[in-house]
Chain A
Amino acid sequence: MANLQDLTEAVIKGDEDKIKLTILELLNAGTPAKEIMDDGLIAGMNIVGGKMETEEMFIPEVLMSAKAMSAGVEILKPQLTDEENAASGTMILGTVQGDLHDIGKNLVKMLMEGAGFSVIDLGTDVPPAAFVDAIKEHNADIVAMSALLTTTMPKMKETMEAMENAGIRDQVKVLVGGAPVTENYADEIGADGYGYDAGSAVRIAKEYMTN
């Protein structure tokens, strides 16, 4: 008989087939979908996150786990209530205007998806107005901006102002990151959070969703 522990281990191993099978078995046995999600999949991803921070797991392994977990989430989704589904959160992500660096942003995207977020990726060189439009269109919970250049960091501030002007600043949490960005800068422009790497960004985003 499958148990939640098996599921957690399958997430850590990134074993998509095992995850799908185990979820079906657990559902058949009457385990609530919410419990499978929280105590199986998310519990597994939390361990993966920890192993990434202690550098025991390498990024491709983490991404494999994240991908496998997403496949599991797809099976669970129809079984969850709307309220439970919304709890995972929608995120708008992009590299700010004038900036073409996207490697860090793409890492953030993949890890966020692995953590269960539905991520709308606007790509690179994203103007403030495009962030605003996307927030409205997708009714987003979190806006995540990446900048790798000191010359483009001010665009983060401009994007914040554009959200303010559109009257939607209070609807979302704003998360920023990228090599030249600091905790201080995030405070200075009034962002809600700063992630020094992709893993810490995920940790903060998850906190927003539980609070």
Chain B
Amino acid sequence: MTTICSNQQALNSPLAKKLSEDQCRKLYWACLEILERTGVQLFEQEAVDLLKKAGAHISDGNRVRIPAGLVEKAFATAPKKITLCDRNGKRVIQAGGHQSYFGTGSDCLNILDHRTGERRQAVLKDIEEGMKLCDALEHIDFVMSMFLPSDVPQETLDRYEMEAMLNYTTKPIIYVTTEFSGCMDAVKMAEIVAGGPDALAQNPVAACYINVTTGLRHNKEALQKLLYLSEKGLPFTYIPSAQGGVTAPITIASTMAVNNAGVLAGLVISQLKREGAPFIMPGWGGNMLDMRTTIQPYADPEKRGQAIDFAHFLGIPTFGLAGCSESKLVDEQAAAEAALTLFTDAIFGGNFVHDVGYLESGLCGSLPQLAICNEILSWLDAFMKGIEISDETLCLDLIDEIGPEGQYLDCRHTLDHFRERWYPNLFDRSSYDGWQAKGGKSLGERAVEDVDRILQEHKPEPLPKDIAKAVHKVTEDAESKI
């Protein structure tokens, strides 16, 4: 488990900030102004009704203008910390503040097959192997499905994804479903595993990733999911996708204002439905469309940092985005973009940081790339720790005892402490000859071997047979309805 946390000890562990408190306030007021003046369009009647009852202004049936006071009130009940459990109910993630956890992304259409080097459509087996790998990788704290299975009925693909995640890892899950019915089925599966609805609400093993059309246009499924999960007290992200230059103005400030106006609208609805509903907001801000290639870039430097600052200002846990790349290969670009993005999210203090291992702007995934990201996270875990300056660590007596001419290799103090220092696993530190003697392999080649070894050796704890059967029944039932 990663213990990355920026700002752990005042002025003693790494911490970065882009926005000042006053800048955050100005941005927040801009969101409030958009909500009061322009308003949002909500394509779900229950959400409109809830807001109307609370005092919002409704026009044209579903255009809702939300007064600032309702937003302020929502902050009083929204949790500042969100817990996720592993499959055995152990409370392994306490996300909030500057505490960072890392996980994969979902639904890549393609996989860069590490056995053949070929880019092909992903299948269910890839998700199973991906989850097995995640289960073994020390610095992957939660999982998303990684791939989209092309070999199952597409109407129920989200049920297959959830089932594979529950079966092949014990780590906490963030699931994505195409429609509302899939969300209810994912909850059903999680309830079976947790031991019932109450047990799940108390020790949630899974959170839902909800996408919203844009900051100001909220689609029906997104609101249905939000209302359903709020009522059950289960955690979810609420991520509108305002895209600078397309569905929002191109400037970062403005894209963030439009997007976060939508986030705050969601927050208000969730707290109106049920006070205390666990709500997670986006940890990136100022998405753009690459105006040369029409790709939505994931590793864009300019969208990083400020949204985490803003969320810290508001006191709402974030869904970060890092460890991803625009590259088509597991190459130098992929490693550089993964490292830089993971570094920024760690140092700013994003909470649930997802999309680790993504290539090709979210359309392709790779198991060796994920293994490389795990190594980067191991490096970051070491980097982010504060430094202890104490009598024991300074050991002035020892310095005096050894004197200018001695050495420390065979000292007890060295033996006691040398294992505290960080050692790489995949990164190579051999001498040239030593590296050649080990085969003279590149990082990519070593990562492929590591993945092969893990897939062969690692045996994730299986779900009890009857539970696995009951979970599968949910998929079968969904299938029989199509």
On chain A, the residues within 8 Å of B219 by CB distance are 100
Determine whether A30 belongs to the interface, using a CB cutoff of 8 Å to chain B.
no
Bound CA–CA A154/B154 (angstroms): 9
Interface positions of A from 167 to 211, Cβ below 8 Å from B: 179-180, 197-198
Residue in B157, B293, B363 whose CB lies within 8 Å of A179:
B363
Determine whether A89 belongs to the interface, using a CB cutoff of 8 Å to chain B.
no
Segment with Cβ contacts to A, from B85-93, B229-237, B239-247, B276-284: B239-247
Q: Once the chains bind, are A149 and B247 in contact (CB under 8 Å)?
A: no
Give the residue name and chain of the B residue nearest to A54 (CB). Answer: B292
Segment with Cβ contacts to B, from A65-73, A74-82, A102-110: A102-110
Bound CA–CA A55/B150 (angstroms): 32
| Chain B 235-264 per-residue mask, 1 if CB under 8 angstroms from chain A, else 0 | 000000001011100000000000000000
Q: Once the chains bind, are A104 and B294 in contact (CB under 8 Å)?
A: yes
| Chain B 153-164 per-residue mask, 1 if CB under 8 angstroms from chain A, else 0 | 011010000000
- CB of A156 to closest CB in B, whole Å: 13
On chain A, the residues within 8 Å of B213 by CB distance are 100
On chain A, the residues within 8 Å of B148 by CB distance are 150
Give the residue name and chain of the A residue nearest to B247 (CB). Answer: A103
Residue in A151, A153, A198 whose CB lies within 8 Å of B157:
A151
Residue in B178, B245, B296 whose CB lies within 8 Å of A149:
B178
Q: Once the chains bind, are A103 and B154 in contact (CB under 8 Å)?
A: no
Determine whether B396 belongs to the interface, using a CB cutoff of 8 Å to chain A.
no
Bound CA–CA A43/B163 (angstroms): 55
Q: Once the chains bind, are A55 and B247 in contact (CB under 8 Å)?
A: no
Q: Once the chains bind, are A58 and B109 in contact (CB under 8 Å)?
A: no
Q: Once the chains bind, are B154 and A151 in contact (CB under 8 Å)?
A: yes
With contacts A150-B150, A180-B109 known, is A103 near B291, CB below 8 A? no
Residue in B155, B293, B363 whose CB lies within 8 Å of A55:
B293
Bound CA–CA A8/B243 (angstroms): 32
- CB of A150 to closest CB in B, whole Å: 5
With contacts A103-B246, A151-B155 known, is A59 near B294, CB below 8 A? yes
Determine whether B443 belongs to the interface, using a CB cutoff of 8 Å to chain A.
no
On chain A, the residues within 8 Å of B199 by CB distance are none
Interface positions of B from 276 to 310, Cβ below 8 Å from A: 289, 291-294, 296
Bound CA–CA A60/B292 (angstroms): 9
On chain B, the residues within 8 Å of A149 by CB distance are 178
On chain B, the residues within 8 Å of A197 by CB distance are 294
| Chain A 40-59 per-residue mask, 1 if CB under 8 angstroms from chain B, else 0 | 00000000000000010011
Interface positions of B from 69 to 121, Cβ below 8 Å from A: 109
Interface size on B, residues (CB 8 A): 20
Bound CA–CA A33/B243 (angstroms): 40
Q: Once the chains bind, are A151 and B178 in contact (CB under 8 Å)?
A: yes
- CB of B354 to closest CB in A, whole Å: 19
Interface band, chain A: 10 to 19
On chain A, the residues within 8 Å of B363 by CB distance are 179
Q: Once the chains bind, are A179 and B154 in contact (CB under 8 Å)?
A: no
On chain B, the residues within 8 Å of A100 by CB distance are 213, 219
- CB of B145 to closest CB in A, whole Å: 13
Residue in A107, A150, A180 whose CB lies within 8 Å of B294:
A107
Give the residue name and chain of the A residue nearest to B222 (CB). Answer: A100
Q: Once the chains bind, are B292 and A58 in contact (CB under 8 Å)?
A: yes
On chain B, the residues within 8 Å of A150 by CB distance are 109, 148, 150, 154, 157
On chain A, the residues within 8 Å of B291 by CB distance are 58-60
Q: Once the chains bind, are A60 and B294 in contact (CB under 8 Å)?
A: no
| Chain B 211-231 per-residue mask, 1 if CB under 8 angstroms from chain A, else 0 | 001000001000000000000
Bound CA–CA A153/B109 (angstroms): 13
On chain A, the residues within 8 Å of B289 by CB distance are 59, 103
Give the residue name and chain of the A residue nearest to B211 (CB). Answer: A100
Residue in A59, A179, A198 whose CB lies within 8 Å of B292:
A59
Q: Once the chains bind, are B155 and A179 in contact (CB under 8 Å)?
A: no
| Chain A 145-158 per-residue mask, 1 if CB under 8 angstroms from chain B, else 0 | 00001110110000
On chain A, the residues within 8 Å of B245 by CB distance are 59-60
On chain B, the residues within 8 Å of A104 by CB distance are 294
Q: Once the chains bind, are A55 and B292 in contact (CB under 8 Å)?
A: yes
- CB of B383 to closest CB in A, whole Å: 36
Bound CA–CA A112/B109 (angstroms): 28
| Chain B 128-162 per-residue mask, 1 if CB under 8 angstroms from chain A, else 0 | 00000000000000000000101000110100000
Q: Once the chains bind, are B293 and A198 in contact (CB under 8 Å)?
A: no
- CB of A62 to closest CB in B, whole Å: 9
On chain B, the residues within 8 Å of A179 by CB distance are 109, 363
Bound CA–CA A103/B363 (angstroms): 16
On chain A, the residues within 8 Å of B150 by CB distance are 150
Bound CA–CA A197/B295 (angstroms): 10
| Chain A 83-113 per-residue mask, 1 if CB under 8 angstroms from chain B, else 0 | 0000000000000000010011011000000
Give the residue name and chain of the A residue nearest to B155 (CB). Answer: A151
Bound CA–CA A100/B148 (angstroms): 18
On chain B, the residues within 8 Å of A198 by CB distance are 294
Bound CA–CA A68/B347 (angstroms): 46
On chain B, the residues within 8 Å of A58 by CB distance are 291-292
Interface positions of B from 139 to 193, Cβ below 8 Å from A: 148, 150, 154-155, 157, 178
Give the residue name and chain of the A residue nearest to B149 (CB). Answer: A150
Beyond A55-B293, A150-B150, A179-B363, 13 additional contacts (C-beta under 8 Å) are A58-B291, A59-B291, A60-B291, A100-B213, A100-B219, A103-B243, A103-B246, A104-B294, A107-B294, A149-B178, A151-B155, A151-B157, A180-B109
28 A-B pairs with C-beta separation under 8 A: A55-B292, A55-B293, A58-B291, A58-B292, A59-B289, A59-B291, A59-B292, A59-B294, A60-B245, A60-B291, A103-B243, A103-B246, A103-B247, A103-B289, A103-B296, A107-B294, A149-B178, A150-B148, A150-B150, A150-B154, A151-B155, A151-B157, A154-B154, A179-B109, A179-B363, A180-B109, A197-B294, A198-B294
Q: Lowest 7 A-B CB distances belong to which pairs? A: A58-B291, A59-B291, A55-B292, A151-B154, A151-B178, A150-B154, A103-B246
A interface residues (Cβ-Cβ under 8 A, vs B): 55, 58-60, 100, 103-104, 106-107, 149-151, 153-154, 179-180, 197-198
B interface residues (Cβ-Cβ under 8 A, vs A): 109, 148, 150, 154-155, 157, 178, 213, 219, 243, 245-247, 289, 291-294, 296, 363
